[in-house]
Amino acid sequence: MRTCILVSLLLFALARLSAQTNAWRPSEGRTQIPIWPGAAPDAQPAPGPERLVVSKTLIAGRPWVSVGNVTQPTLTVYSPKGTNTGVAMIVFPGGGYHELAIDLEGTEICEWLASKGITGVLLKYRAPTPKVGRYRESPLALQDAQRTLGLVRFRAGEWGIHPKKIGVIGFSAGGHLVAAISTHFDQRTYPTVDAADRASCRPDFAIALYPGHLSPWYPDGPESWANTRSLGLNPNITVTSNTPPTFLLQAQNDPVDDVRNSMVYSLALRNARVPVELHFYAEGGHAFGLRRTSFPITEWPDLVEKWLRTIGVTL
């Protein structure tokens, strides 16, 4: 009996250790910071412990890593290498709000930003999250984004960031989160926690690459955003003249998120007289991140750098 108990305890300990070691950790020398001082609001259970999965699909000849079952959202600061411009970007990886492409659309983006003198802030937001209520896409991810914008602005001096030069960049579902935080900043979607929640969570500029969830969605009927011919905007995204300047980029042959996502959002921004720069390419597909391929669309970092100078964020 005692042997059985010891074996059970050992198996439990090994399972717990496995769950801990399979959680995502940043590279050595960088620290993850919980964005909530206690339990996250509206916390939901996950199907299991946080997990890492190495994709068998190669992008630009390399695999990519996803992280799922995220219940404890964190941020990781990637400080500039060399000259500090004072600019910061909060990075939202994609993954359909089911998981996060943590390296392809996360750490690799932050490293690139740091090399350009920009502070990259990687947000590991909650995923998967329930799709309930009026804001169907991911209410918990939006809470995490609002909290992170306020937290970064509140601690801007500590991290060498100009409080009026904090933007967001996101990919796929993360691109939708860019539009969500750009249009949901007047009021927090959770009760105020501390002083950081009294800092503005409005981005000063926004960048969305191959975004999804921006066209109309019909969850209860035979239609879906994929087959409707409407160019209407998702009703959960309400653009105003106070929506930040935005950069959009997408491939016409994107097989995951229809190109109309970028079209309808850019039209809404233009109608509200919000500065918007839109780039369409014939080819390039979906989920290429920062990895260069033979397709011209993967030269987008050069366009972003020029755009940041154009709108006066960098010199």
Q: What is the pLDDT of residues 39-54, one digit of tens each?
A: 999 998 898 999 999 9
How far apart (Å, rounded) are the C-alpha atoms in residues 72 and 153? 21
How far apart (Å, rounded) are the C-alpha atoms in residues 276 and 244? 9
Q: What is the pLDDT of residues 283-301, one digit of tens each?
A: 999 999 999 999 999 999 9
Q: What is the pLDDT of residues 50-98, one digit of tens each?
A: 999 999 999 999 999 999 999 999 999 999 989 999 999 999 999 999 9
Q: What is the pLDDT of residues 210-223, one digit of tens each?
A: 999 998 754 443 34
Q: What is the mean pLDDT of the segment spanning 229-237?
A: 80
In contact, 211 and 257? CB cutoff 8 Å:
yes
Sheet holding 246-251, edge to edge: 32-34, 74-78, 119-124, 88-92, 166-171, 206-209, 246-251, 276-281
Burial-class residue 176 by CB neighbours within 10 Å (0-12, 13-18, 19+): buried
pLDDT score recorded for residue 218: 47
Q: Against a cut of 0.85, is the pTM above it?
A: yes
- Structural domains of the chain, with CATH: 50-310 (3.40.50.1820)
In contact, 97 and 137? CB cutoff 8 Å:
yes
